[in-house]
């Protein structure tokens, strides 16, 4: 493991980013939502475990989910109970933290349709439950949103929101905002038309639904929609920026994380890639895919949109997390969001207006030259544009982007963003494809491989948000496919795909502790204060997801096109780890 140190000077006139006031305060020791707070900082103010003593961390208890597929969920803690959600069949477990070994209190088994596994693009994952109003909310692979009583595990409601026969699945973690549960849809590789929906937390009834493509009435664009850039202004762009009727299978699915500013009453989320991957079949900007929406939380009404990748050429979903921060920018305090995108840029955006303040490269890129800040548009390099039935070689970054779904964390102490990401390139070939409901709608073939250099395919980078530069980087053999956790103990926790769960120094990246789990880690670490007053750290191990499909799906390493080209890069993963599904919880002696 190499650590590349790139010291960044923080000048007096540009102090580091800060967490918004609504995301700070005394830590209650719980972890009730995957992103920890509405700002999605994934930061804990607990500091019993710190840079000095983390080397003594040891296993407190373990728990098997009984499912050996990709474990992408975050363990939640509410009071004296931990909640763990498995991949398909989406079993929710409640563990009693007040008793030795945290025995099982109850389990809830929603029994999703087995056929849903056949339309899961990239493993049968789930990104976790969330808590609110005395209930635990989560989604199932076969398109149900579920609410169960947090104390008893009794089902409160269960509603069907999609159709697996159309290729629709649900894998995203919900977010509770006031009396609503925000949920999204997956299935962009099947020509699914994306949407975000708010459900009444008490009943599961739909309160509003906003599509990612189509006429303004469907997208919930009205008189209060005021995007910053001219290219996002106009009537019914969700139709006119597509060939006739192509928006109906246009993608823009919403399987990432949602953030919320209670002061502005706005939610922020990303929309996925347009369909199909073959961009030649969909000339135009393909609104409102591959970008970021700000919406009124009560009504779903769109306030602004920014398209990170107009006319997406390479499956660069905009679903990655938006972390809400406040920054001093050119002498003014700006309410902002920071968004590390698949296109290789970290965006700093004014979250009140959608104006891009900066867009800085965090990955080697040869497909574009960055953003024109006057127009907000990506400046493409035409030499890497796809060609029908011809292989275009050495495209960087690759289809899962410089960074896929794996969520970053932001330290309220250091002001740095900790980004888990990829270091991959690819060869790409477009081909003609027809839409058939419930079948893959891709029209391109990718073969991925390590980016030029020493062959490492993953990195953990500490990012100076205001100055737009790396502070330090840790290289990993395989993509860093799970999330990160930052704590007041000056620590960053993350796992790698070989199964090492690590703690590094938040200021230098130096490795301070590691533990070898039974399987590769693609989950989201969390930390909490137990009933005994001690701090604990939890992580689910279990390799899978798109990057780990070669192991979780037992794919043939000789087939470089398998898992939509990811197997070409991940052949050695089968020699580095095995399937698994285990919760690990750690504490100091």
> What is the predicted pLDDT for the residue at 524?
98
Known catalytic residue: 189? Answer: yes
The model's pTM is: 0.97
> What is the predicted pLDDT for the residue at 3?
41
* Closest-CA residue to 304 (of 404, 407, 388, 229): 229
| Residues 6+ positions from 585 with CB-CB distance below 8 Å | 59, 60, 61, 62, 75, 82, 102, 536, 537, 538
| Contact predicate 378/409, CB 8 Å | no
Residue 13 banded pLDDT, cuts 50, 70, 90: low
Tell me: cis bond preceding 89? Omega within 30 of 0 counts: yes
Catalytic annotation, pick one of 312, 315, 404, 429: 315
Catalytic annotation, pick one of 37, 68, 273, 343: 273
Per-residue pLDDT at 132 exceeds 50: yes
Q: Give the angle 8-9-13 at the CA atoms, nearest 5°.
A: 135
- Catalogue the E-assigned strands of 240-355: 259-261, 266-271, 291-296, 302-307, 323-329, 332-340, 345-350
* Closest-CA residue to 134 (of 172, 85, 79): 79
Cα(465)–Cα(578) distance, integer angstroms: 37
The pLDDT tens digits of the residues spanning 271-312 come to: 999 999 999 999 999 999 999 999 999 999 999 999 999 999
Catalytic annotation, pick one of 189, 218, 404, 490: 189
> Counting Cβ atoms within 10 Å, is residue 35 exposed (0-12), middle (13-18) or buried (19+)?
buried
Q: Residue 529 forms beta bridges with which residues?
A: 535
> What is the predicted pLDDT for the residue at 128?
98
The pLDDT tens digits of the residues spanning 480-521 come to: 999 999 999 999 999 999 999 999 999 999 999 999 999 999
Tokens (6 digits) for 47: 């500091």
| Contact predicate 269/252, CB 8 Å | no
Per-residue pLDDT at 7 exceeds 70: no
Known catalytic residue: 404? Answer: no
The pLDDT tens digits of the residues spanning 558-579 come to: 999 999 999 999 999 999 999 9
Known catalytic residue: 113? Answer: no
Cα(489)–Cα(44) distance, integer angstroms: 9
* Closest-CA residue to 308 (of 300, 319, 298, 299): 319
Q: Residue 327 forms beta bridges with which residues?
A: 334
Cα(163)–Cα(143) distance, integer angstroms: 7
Tokens (6 digits) for 571: 């052949």
End-to-end CA distance of the chain: 28
> What is the predicted pLDDT for the residue at 1?
41
Q: Give the angle 95-101-106 at the CA atoms, nearest 5°.
A: 25
| Contact predicate 32/130, CB 8 Å | yes
Per-residue pLDDT at 383 exceeds 50: yes
Residue 14 banded pLDDT, cuts 50, 70, 90: confident
Cα(538)–Cα(423) distance, integer angstroms: 27
Cα(164)–Cα(187) distance, integer angstroms: 9
Three-state secondary structure along 197-265? Answer: EEEECCCCCEEEEEECCCCHHHHCCCCCCCCCCHHHCCCCHHHHCCCCCHHHHCECCCCCCCEEECCCC
| Contact predicate 137/182, CB 8 Å | no
CA dihedral 502, 508, 510, 516 (to 10 degrees): 10
| Contact predicate 189/275, CB 8 Å | yes
Cα(150)–Cα(156) distance, integer angstroms: 10
| Residues 6+ positions from 333 with CB-CB distance below 8 Å | 326, 327
What Cα–Cα distance (Å) separates residue 355 from each residue in 250, 300, 566?
25, 20, 34
Cα(259)–Cα(261) distance, integer angstroms: 7
Residue by residue, DSSP assigns 45-56 as ---SS-TTTGGG
State how beta strands 485-487 and 43-44 pair. Answer: parallel
> What is the predicted pLDDT for the residue at 26?
77
CA dihedral 339, 345, 346, 348 (to 10 degrees): -80
Mean pLDDT of the chain: 96
The pLDDT tens digits of the residues spanning 192-243 come to: 999 999 999 999 999 999 999 999 999 999 999 999 999 999 999 999 999 9
Cα(513)–Cα(503) distance, integer angstroms: 5
> What is the predicted pLDDT for the residue at 4?
40
Cα(288)–Cα(297) distance, integer angstroms: 19
Tokens (6 digits) for 443: 């029209």
Per-residue pLDDT at 12 exceeds 70: no
Judged by DSSP in three states, 114 sits in helix
> What is the predicted pLDDT for the residue at 9?
36
Which helix (H) or strand (E) segment holds residue 155: the answer is strand 155-160
Q: Which residue do the tokens 């197997």 mark?
A: 567
- Catalogue the E-assigned strands of 8-53: 43-44
């Amino acid at each position: 493991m190499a650590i590349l140190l790139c010291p960044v000077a923080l000048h007096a006139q540009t102090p580091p980013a800060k967490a918004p006031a609504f995301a700070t305060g005394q830590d209650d020791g719980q972890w009730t939502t995957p992103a920890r707070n509405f700002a999605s900082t994934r930061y804990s103010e607990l500091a019993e475990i710190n840079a000095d003593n983390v080397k003594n961390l040891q296993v407190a208890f373990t728990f098997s989910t009984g499912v050996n597929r990709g474990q992408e969920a975050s363990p939640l803690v509410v009071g004296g109970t931990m909640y763990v959600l498995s991949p398909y069949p989406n079993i929710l477990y409640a563990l009693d933290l007040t008793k030795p070994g945290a025995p099982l209190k109850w389990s809830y088994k929603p029994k999703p349709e087995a056929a849903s596994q056949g339309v899961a693009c990239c493993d049968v994952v789930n990104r976790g439950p969330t808590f609110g109003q005395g209930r635990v909310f989560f989604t199932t692979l076969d398109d149900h949103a579920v609410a169960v009583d947090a104390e008893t595990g009794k089902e409160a409601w269960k509603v069907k929101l999609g159709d697996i026969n159309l290729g629709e699945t649900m894998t995203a973690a919900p977010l509770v905002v006031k009396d609503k549960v925000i949920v999204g849809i997956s299935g962009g590789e099947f020509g699914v038309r994306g949407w975000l929906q708010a459900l009444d937390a008490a009943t599961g009834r739909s309160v509003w639904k906003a599509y990612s493509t189509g006429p303004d009435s469907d997208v919930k664009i009205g008189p209060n929609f005021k995007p910053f850039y001219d290219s996002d202004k106009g009537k019914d762009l969700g139709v006119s920026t597509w060939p006739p009727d192509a928006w109906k299978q246009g993608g823009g699915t919403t399987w990432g994380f949602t953030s919320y500013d209670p002061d502005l009453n706005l939610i922020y989320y990303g929309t996925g890639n347009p369909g199909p991957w073959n961009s030649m079949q969909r000339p135009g900007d393909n609104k409102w895919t591959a970008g970021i929406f700000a919406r009124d939380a009560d009504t779903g009404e769109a306030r602004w949109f920014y398209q990170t990748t107009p006319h997406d050429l390479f499956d660069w979903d905009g679903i990655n997390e938006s972390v809400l921060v406040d920054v001093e920018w050119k002498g003014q305090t700006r309410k902002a969001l920071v968004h590390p995108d698949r296109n290789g840029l970290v965006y700093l955006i004014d979250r009140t207006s959608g104006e891009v303040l900066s867009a800085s490269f965090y990955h080697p890129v040869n497909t574009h030259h960055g953003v024109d800040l006057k127009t907000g548009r990506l400046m493409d390099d035409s030499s890497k544009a796809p060609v029908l039935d011809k292989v275009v070689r050495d495209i960087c970054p690759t289809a899962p982007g410089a960074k896929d779904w794996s969520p970053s964390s932001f330290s309220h102490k250091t002001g740095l963003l900790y980004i888990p990401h990829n270091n991959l390139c690819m060869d790409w070939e477009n081909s003609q494809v027809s839409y058939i409901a419930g079948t893959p709608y891709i029209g391109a073939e990718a073969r991925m491989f390590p980016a030029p250099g020493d062959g490492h395919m993953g990195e953990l980078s500490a990012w100076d948000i205001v100055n737009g530069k790396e502070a330090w980087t840790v290289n990993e053999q395989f993509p860093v496919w799970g999330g990160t956790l930052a704590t007041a103990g000056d620590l960053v926790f993350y796992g790698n795909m070989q199964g090492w769960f690590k703690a590094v120094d938040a200021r230098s990246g130096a490795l301070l502790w590691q533990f070898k789990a039974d399987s590769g880690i693609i989950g989201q670490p969390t930390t909490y204060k137990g009933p005994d007053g001690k701090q604990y750290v939890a992580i689910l191990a279990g390799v899978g997801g798109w990057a780990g499909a070669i192991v979780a799906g037992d794919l043939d390493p000789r087939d470089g096109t398998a898992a939509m080209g990811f197997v070409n890069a991940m052949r050695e993963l089968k020699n580095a780890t095995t399937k698994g599904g285990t919760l690990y919880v750690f504490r100091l002696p």
